[in-house]
Structure 1
Amino acid sequence: MADDPRRSVTLRRTSLGRYEVSNARGGTITIGGGGADFTPVELLLAALGGCTGADVDHITSKRAEPESFVVEVTGNKIRDEGGGNRMADLTIELRVTFPEGDAGDAAREMLPRAARMSHDRLCTVSRTVELGTPVETRTAPPPAG
């Protein structure tokens, strides 16, 4: 999959406002607007944290296995001057601890650099959000027949 640049998911409606999301590898999650389901905005926050967390984890864990690794992503849902909803003030906070000793020291020292590397060039999700990418929304013609 790494050689193919195309990424995709498919959403299928299960009931009003609830959808099952699937990927080509067979993974599924449900999203919705209430209950225990994640909302689309929460999935955006999870994608930001997951991308940055994975980058930082892969880089720092080469030096030492973390004792704890928590990523918290926050933002404010606002209505902008044009009357549209969007997220603002997005923040990804990494709270990572490493064991005492040389390996832990090396991982602690690398942590801020790994976070910058993720932000500046590695994390596809945060770079896409930050740089802004046009989104085309279209409807498909109904099936023939």
Structure 2
Amino acid sequence: MTDNSLRSVTVERTSTGHFVATNARGGSVSFGTGAAGDTEFTPVELLLAALGGCTAVDVDIATTRHAEPTSFTVAVRGTKVDDDLGNRLTDLAVTFHVAFPDGEGAERARAILPRAVRTSHDRLCTVSRTVETGTPVTATIADA
């Protein structure tokens, strides 16, 4: 593994049910349990945002080489189930709503949009590729 391949965040508890994740570059995002009255994202919502965001970044880079979109929204959904396999999401779906203005560059952006979405999903997006391949997760306690 090279230094460029490692990805990491640190999650710190800030109060009961509230946490902050910080990346190696110093960026942070707060999240919590989703208790009544809280507006913070839950971990599941962050996962959905990561699924949509990963593909959105790829598609944005590919299409905006040709034209700036007039609108660009990605809707991500999943159904939470609790069955013999435990709590998990099923029926994950990422849906793009993208529009471009008139013009030659915009025609090219519209033409490559389906391929950009497909290529991101099938090869480029680390988040959806990780979810779909079912990468094992280990949980340990330091110094135990």
User: Who is 2:101 aligned against?
Assistant: 99
User: Who is 1:15 aligned against?
Assistant: 15
Which sections of structure 1, spanning at least 5 residues, go unmatched?
A: none
Query: Quick check: 1:30 aligned with 2:33?
Result: no
- Distance, in Å, in 1 between the alignment partners of 2:3 and 2:12 is 27
Runs ≥4 residues deviating over 4 A: none
User: Who is 1:76 aligned against?
Assistant: 79
Task: State the percentage of identical aligned residues.
Answer: 56
Q: How far 1:27 sits from its partner (Å)? A: 0.6
SS of 1:37's partner is: coil
Give the one of 127, 132, 135 matched to 1:133: 135
- Distance, in Å, in 2 between the alignment partners of 1:29 and 1:65 is 28
**Structure 1 residues 3 and 13: CA distance shift in structure 2, 3 A:** closer
- Distance, in Å, in 2 between the alignment partners of 1:17 and 1:92 is 28
Q: RMSD between aligned alpha carbons?
A: 1.3
Give the one of 78, 81, 90 matched to 1:88: 90
User: Who is 2:120 aligned against?
Assistant: 118
Which sections of structure 2, spanning at least 5 residues, go unmatched?
A: none
Residue identity in the other structure for 2:120: S
Q: How far 1:16 sits from its partner (Å)? A: 1.3
- Distance, in Å, in 2 between the alignment partners of 1:109 and 1:81 is 43
Q: State the TM-score, normalized to the length of structure 2.
A: 0.93
Q: State the TM-score, normalized to the length of structure 1.
A: 0.93
> How many residue pairs end up in the alignment?
140
SS of 1:121's partner is: helix
Residue identity in the other structure for 2:87: N
Query: Quick check: 1:5 aligned with 2:8?
Result: no
Describe the superposition over 1:63-118 as per-residue Cα deviations: whole angstroms up to 9, x where unpaired: 11111100010010001223x10000000000000011211111101000000000
Describe how 1:36-47 pairs up with structure 2 within 5 A: 36-47=39-50
Q: How far 1:3 sits from its partner (Å)? A: 5.7
SS of 1:10's partner is: strand
